Amino acid sequence: MMPISSKRIHVLATAVLLAAATSAAAAPVFTINPGKNNGLLSKAGKAFEASALNGFSSNRIAHTGQGNQYTSDGYIVFNGFSLNSMPVSTALSRVNLDYGLYATFHQSFHCDGMLAPGVRCQPTALTLDLYADPDNDNSYTVATLASAARVGAKGAQILLASANAMLAGVAGLDSMGGAFENVSMSWLLSAAGKEYFAGGKPFYGIANAAFNNTSQGLQCDAAKCKGARVIAITSETGILDFQQKVPEPGGLALLGIGLMGMGLVRRRLSAIADGSSG
């Protein structure tokens, strides 16, 4: 029998782990069908596939007056879709041509200290609503230190989805003075949203958002944003994609058992290899 080297075992195990990591990192593809929705978006074209929504955001972050607690209110205007990191043609998606797509949100944060470059913040609560603007005629006003970002909605708006639970997140100001946030949240489609997000079925239960900007995209009420109590983010770009539900604790336990079993198999194969080479 051909000896099995420990190096070969290590290579095989590494290949398996890399394959699993690659699979987990790929954002799932979904189908958008803007032409359904009871005719409200009927002029918006045919169905297409995407793996993410892309957009820009404005929000105002304000200290609550207690500890290192902050709240944030703002909007995200989605200006397109992408499929596997490549843009979906606006001529196909029709976003910002035949209809608008935007979200409004409210968040709470707990930070390690008063906001400043390098201070880490933990998002603690979030509510978000995603809407379609059938006539694409809303107006958007960016946040200032004195006032929140505002959506001037005109006519009927179509609620597509909502998030009401924060699952995980991190936020703060980076060393160059830009703002960043990565967050995972619940995702629940409305009746109209189930027509708009036509697949997969059932649709994904978690949405992931990542937004970032430069120091020129924000204003602070403190010099160099050190110890800021109010921050106005005037321009922040980002992405929203989806995933399946977080595994149940039992599933995580099974995964742990499986990894432990792989360790036992590796030790047994190593013993066989050592015996074959003796």
Of 2, 26, 68, 15, whose CA–CA distance to 241 is shortest? 26
3-state secondary structure of 108: strand
Q: Where are the domains of the chain?
A: 27-246
Neighbouring C-beta atoms of residue 95, cutoff 10 Å:
25
The pLDDT of residue 275 is: 53
| Interval 145-169 mean pLDDT | 95
The pLDDT of residue 42 is: 59
Amino acid letter at 52?
A: A
More confident residue, 1 or 155: 155
Q: Name the strand (E) or helix (H) holding 150.
A: strand 150-152
Q: What is the pLDDT of residues 33-49, one digit of tens each?
A: 987 665 566 565 688 99
Q: What is the pLDDT of residues 91-117, one digit of tens each?
A: 889 898 889 999 999 999 999 999 999
Tell me the two tokens of residue 36.
């359904």
pLDDT at 260 over 90: no
Tell me the two tokens of residue 86.
């490549």
CA distance 228 to 62: 9
Of 129, 157, 191, 138, whose CA–CA distance to 41 is shortest? 157
pLDDT at 26 over 70: yes
Q: What is the pLDDT of residues 75-86, one digit of tens each?
A: 999 999 999 999
The pLDDT of residue 39 is: 57
Of 138, 136, 209, whose CA–CA distance to 171 is shortest? 209
The pLDDT of residue 177 is: 82
| Interval 113-142 mean pLDDT | 95
Share of the chain above pLDDT 90, in %: 63
